[in-house]
Structure 1
Amino acid sequence: MRILALDGALARASAAVWAEGRVLAARSADGARGQAIALPPMVAAVLAEAGVKAAALDAVAAVVGPGGFTGIRAALALAQGLALAAGRPAIGVSTGEALAAALPQALRAGHAVWSATDTRRGRILLERFAPGALDPLGPPEPFSLEALPVPEGPVALVGDAAPLLAAVLGDRAVLTDALLPEAAAVAAVAALRLAGKLPPRACLPLYVEPPAVKLPPGQPASQG
């Protein structure tokens, strides 16, 4: 099973080719902007390094959100175009799924995982996972730091807003180093999805709140 995975949801762009449980090639670049420019050459580089042509892929996967509007749309447009050209499925992976999959299995087995994405508007988007699970308990939900739910047991924190949650939750939480998704973990989740071990997820943007974009007066808002 050969999967090309892309991510541009948060402050990193990454791409990886994954086959039969291992990464054949990977590239990443940190930065809050520029995913639309960074991702196409990354894809070309990892495919060349892995010696895999797009037509030989079994699937193309991308992070659908939550995250930044521009980065998500850039990654999804590229993933959908490559999948269509190759005649292969495009698989969606949430930000939380990718981050949870990057954690050691032993840590996930003993802790619920909370994936926290910073909206930059005074709220965080919380995607929660039961211990040992990679299928979230529900869709991401918005919370202010003052109104966070109380965890029922120990939680492992991932995502770019994880340090903020760790300061609030104290010794009830373990702050991990999984703050930004990596394409290799995206591919691992997509492989489980392709094998029917996780529920399907469309390769379409996952919006929890409206994008923080101000349109010129009189211009209608996009319905995408």
Structure 2
Amino acid sequence: MALILALDAALAGCSAALVDGDRVLAARAAQGDRGHAALLPPMAEAVLREAGLAATALDAVAAVVGPGGFTGLRAALALAEGLALGIGRPAIGVTTGEALAAALPFGPRAVWSAIDNRRGRVMLERFPPGSLQAEGPPEVVAETDLPRPAFPVALAGDAAPAIAARLAAQGLDALLSASRLPSAIAAARVAALRLAGALPPLAARPLYVEPPAVRRPG
């Protein structure tokens, strides 16, 4: 058992959860793609207060590292790293795809996490059936240049509807799952596996699949 506080703000929402093994002690979530930096600290404080625990009781602090939005990722990671440093516990990274896949039941299907990069492409993480260890690092692909799945596949992530439809149109076995946004609860479960050595280590550092979009001032 490991007591883990997990934070997520990778996509259009943010969440915090306190998880002890299979038990969710407390959780908070909010929708929207703005204001993560202001929302997350009170969420973290609220879940600890609800469980009646101090931060010093934690075994680790986890955060979703990406792929995702630059501002949200930085907000979650800064808070996670600050808390972990303050209590002398490890800060553990969880990818967006891992958190999305961990929210689904294990089965005979592979899981593809498809995140919309808002530039006409998707950031794809692929997991073989029954595993939370990705086949490789996240990759950026065009919707028209998707790899061919080796197994029936379940699609997760905010770009999942478009990708599932495109694969189905090719006659492939593609199931659209309900896992569209990562959750701190699922991230905590992945972090517990990482802490136990069941998954390779991952630092709590932002995972950028491609450079953040930058707009010149008008």
Residue of structure 2 equivalent to 1:200: 201
Deviation at 1:57, TM superposition (A): 0.4
What is the correspondence of 1:1-224 to structure 2 with a 5 Å cutoff? 1-105=2-106, 109-170=107-168, 171-216=172-217
Gaps of 5+ in 1: 218-224
Partner secondary structure for residue 23 of structure 1 = strand
The separation in 1 between residues aligned to 2:40 and 2:122, in whole angstroms, is: 26
Partner secondary structure for residue 124 of structure 1 = strand
Residue of structure 2 equivalent to 1:222: none
The separation in 2 between residues aligned to 1:20 and 1:113, in whole angstroms, is: 23
Partner secondary structure for residue 167 of structure 2 = helix
Identity of aligned residues (%): 66
**Alignment check: 8 A CA contact 2:21 2:189 kept:** no
The separation in 2 between residues aligned to 1:35 and 1:50, in whole angstroms, is: 22
Gaps of 5+ in 2: none
Give deviations 1:110-136, integer Å, cap 9, x for gaps.
001100000001000000001001011
Deviation at 1:50, TM superposition (A): 1.1
The separation in 2 between residues aligned to 1:153 and 1:102, in whole angstroms, is: 19
Indicate the larger mover: 150-159 or 1-10: 150-159
Q: Which amino acid aligns with 2:58?
A: L
The separation in 2 between residues aligned to 1:216 and 1:90, in whole angstroms, is: 35
* TM-score normalised to structure 2 length: 0.96
User: How many residues are treated as equivalent by the alignment?
Assistant: 214
The separation in 2 between residues aligned to 1:136 and 1:3, in whole angstroms, is: 22
The separation in 2 between residues aligned to 1:153 and 1:56, in whole angstroms, is: 42
Q: Which amino acid aligns with 1:187?
A: A
Instruction: Give structure 1 regions of 4+ aligned residues with deviation exceeding 4 angstroms.
Output: none
Partner secondary structure for residue 93 of structure 1 = strand
The separation in 2 between residues aligned to 1:135 and 1:153, in whole angstroms, is: 16
**Alignment check: 8 A CA contact 2:113 2:156 kept:** yes
The separation in 1 between residues aligned to 2:57 and 2:141, in whole angstroms, is: 43
Deviation at 1:153, TM superposition (A): 2.1
The separation in 2 between residues aligned to 1:199 and 1:50, in whole angstroms, is: 29
Q: Which amino acid aligns with 2:135?
A: L
Q: Which amino acid aligns with 1:180?
A: L
Indicate the larger mover: 208-217 or 48-57: 208-217
The separation in 2 between residues aligned to 1:209 and 1:148, in whole angstroms, is: 17
Q: Which amino acid aligns with 1:121?
A: R
Task: Indicate the RMSD between aligned Cα atoms, in angstroms.
Answer: 1.1
The separation in 1 between residues aligned to 2:120 and 2:211, in whole angstroms, is: 14
Q: Which amino acid aligns with 1:209?
A: E
Give deviations 1:15-35, integer Å, cap 9, x for gaps.
000012110000000101111
Q: Which amino acid aligns with 2:181?
A: L
